[in-house]
Each structure stands twice: as C-alpha cells, then as structure tokens.
Amino acid sequence: MPPDPVAGLDVVYHFNRVPVVKIETGARHLHGNTDWPKVAIFAQRSKNRTHRPGVSRCRLIKVDGLDLHVQGLDAVDGTPVLGHQCPSRTTRSARP
C-alpha cells in the first residue's frame, strides 16, 4: 500500500558533504563563544559530528514509482537517503 500523500514522512539521511578532517569529536564552546561552557558535539546540532546521519520529518507530496516527492526536508539536494518511514498514527499530530 503506498504512503498516504498527506502524511508526514521521517527521512534518515547522511551528512556526506562534511570532509573527514573537519569531523569534531570533543566538546567545544557553542558558536566559539568562550563565555559559554563547552558542550558535547551532539548537544550542538553540528553537521561536523562523528556520527553523520540526520533525521528530518517532512511532508510527503507525491509518490512517483520509486521517487518520493517531499516538502520541508532539512537536507541539501543530492544528499544520500538511508531510509524513510511514515510515522505511526500516534505521532502524526506532530507532522509539519
């Protein structure tokens, strides 16, 4: 059964445009502001993190064969998609 075209869609993608040399593994000051305490890389929402998948909830517009057309995906065009799923009925109220 095809996904509901008015439903949200959770998409898992890969931050593939971050060069390996820019990946950060330790704590740092947010926005480089040394007045703020250092926080771990996952608390920063940084694209330069060691674990590079991202997750975005977007709106499914159309299904065309194997192509899914979406709106509101927080990724750059051409970003590799690792997987997707339609949210369960209990989480659909949080869709965009």
Average pLDDT, the chain: 79
pLDDT tens, position by position, 71-83 = 999 888 888 999 9
Grade residue 53 by pLDDT with cuts at 50, 70 and 90.
Answer: confident
**Alpha carbons 6 and 75: distance in angstroms, whole number:** 20
**Alpha carbons 40 and 42: distance in angstroms, whole number:** 6
Contact present, 15 and 95 (Cβ < 8 Å):
no
Residue 6 above 80 pLDDT?
no
More confident residue, 50 or 84: 84
Section 79-92 average pLDDT: 76
Neighbours of 73 (CB within 10 A): 19
Q: Which two tokens stand for residue 15?
A: 């931050």
pTM: 0.61
Contact present, 41 and 24 (Cβ < 8 Å):
yes
Q: Percent of the chain at pLDDT above 90?
A: 16
